[in-house]
Amino acid sequence: MAERSADDVDASIVIVSWNVRELLLACIRSIISMQDDLLVQIVVVDNASRDQTVEAVRREFPDVELIASDTNLGFSRGSNLGLDHAKGRYVFFLNPDTVLGEHALRRLVDFLEANRDFDVVGPRLVSPDGTPQWVGARHPPSPALLSLQALYLHRLPLIGRRLLNRMVVQYDLNVSQEVEAVSGAAMVSRRAALERVKGFDESFPYTSEDIDLCLRLRRHGSRIFYLAEATITHIGEQSSSQAWARTGTMSMLSTEMYLARAHGRFHALVYRMLVQFVQVPIMVVVGFAKALLGRNASGSLRERLVFAKSVWRRRVEE
CB-based burial label for 138 (10 Å; 0-12, 13-18, 19+) = buried
What pLDDT sits at residue 317?
A: 57
Residue 249 CB contacts under 8 Å (≥ 6 apart), including other chains: 205, 307, 310, 311, 315, 316, 317
C-alpha span between 69 and 228 (Å, rounded): 35
What pLDDT sits at residue 205?
A: 74
What pLDDT sits at residue 86?
A: 95
C-alpha span between 228 and 182 (Å, rounded): 12
What pLDDT sits at residue 68?
A: 94
Q: Which contacts (CB < 8 Å, 24+ apart) does range 148-153 have?
A: 150/271, 150/274, 150/275, 150/278, 150/279, 151/274, 151/278, 151/279, 152/278, 152/279, 152/282
Domains and CATH numbers, the chain: 6-234 (3.90.550.10), 240-313 (no CATH)
What pLDDT sits at residue 1?
A: 37
What pLDDT sits at residue 55?
A: 96
Going from the C-alpha of 141 to that of each of 60, 93, 138, 161, 259, the distances in angstroms are 40, 22, 8, 16, 9
Nearest alpha-carbon partner for 310 in 229, 241, 249: 249
Q: Which residues of the chain have pLDDT under 50?
A: 1-2, 240-241
Q: Categorise residue 172: left if φ over 0, alpha if ψ from -120 to 50, beta otherwise.
A: beta
Q: What is the chain's length?
A: 318
- Cα of 216 vs its chain's centroid, Å: 16
What pLDDT sits at residue 197?
A: 96
What pLDDT sits at residue 318?
A: 52
